[in-house]
Amino acid sequence: MKTITLIAIFFAATLTSSAQITSKYTGLGVKACKTIEATADEGGSYRGLCPGVGGYKLEAIEGDLRQSINVIDPKKKKHELNLWSISGGFSSLGEQAEWRMKGKTPIALIVRYNVSENPEDSSKLTSYLVVIKLTKETVCVTDALKPTRSHNNEARKAADKAATRPCLAS
């Protein structure tokens, strides 16, 4: 009887540890991404291919002093996230992307999105954490979280449940 109980406990512990969600980080800055296109005309534009995990890649884009990312899935399909729909102000991406992983499979993505929302003082930024779900059927933004004391933890909790959440309108 003790042997069966020990086997059951070991099996339950193995299942729990294999379902653990972890984080991996990749760069979104100019140094981490390969420039595909860049112009200085009319305020400039930029498009760069950034590293990802699990067959995903990210495309950083900028135009009119606003940035966004597109997710390129393992099948090479591009998913436009249109982060500028979160807020119309001038914007910039954070320096890294946080991939939420279940084993070796990415299930969600978290990126920092800094937006100038104060017309009187453009140096004041709102630093959103944007949560993107990654499923075989859908890649989209599910949450755009404004800063709080537990901002990072809230974003990770939202990311870990992103697969069951609806997409935000873009």
Centre a 10 Å sphere on the Cβ of residue 127 and count the other Cβ atoms it contains. 14
Q: What's the rounded Cα separation, in Å, for the pair 84 and 155?
A: 19
34 burial (CB, 10 Å; 0-12 / 13-18 / 19+) is: exposed
Does 91 score more than 50 pLDDT?
yes
Q: How much of the chain is helix, strand and coil, in % rounded to 5?
A: 20, 45, 35
Centre a 10 Å sphere on the Cβ of residue 48 and count the other Cβ atoms it contains. 20
pLDDT digits (tens, 9 = 90+) for 2-14: 555 434 444 444 4
pLDDT of residue 9: 45
Q: What's the rounded Cα separation, in Å, for the pair 41 and 59?
A: 20
Residue 70 half-sphere exposure toward CB, CA atoms < 13 A: 13
- Asked if 59 and 74 touch (Cβ cutoff 8 Å), the reply is no
Bridge-partner residues for 106, per DSSP? 101
pLDDT of residue 30: 87
pLDDT digits (tens, 9 = 90+) for 117-166: 887 888 899 999 999 999 999 999 999 999 999 999 999 999 999 999 99
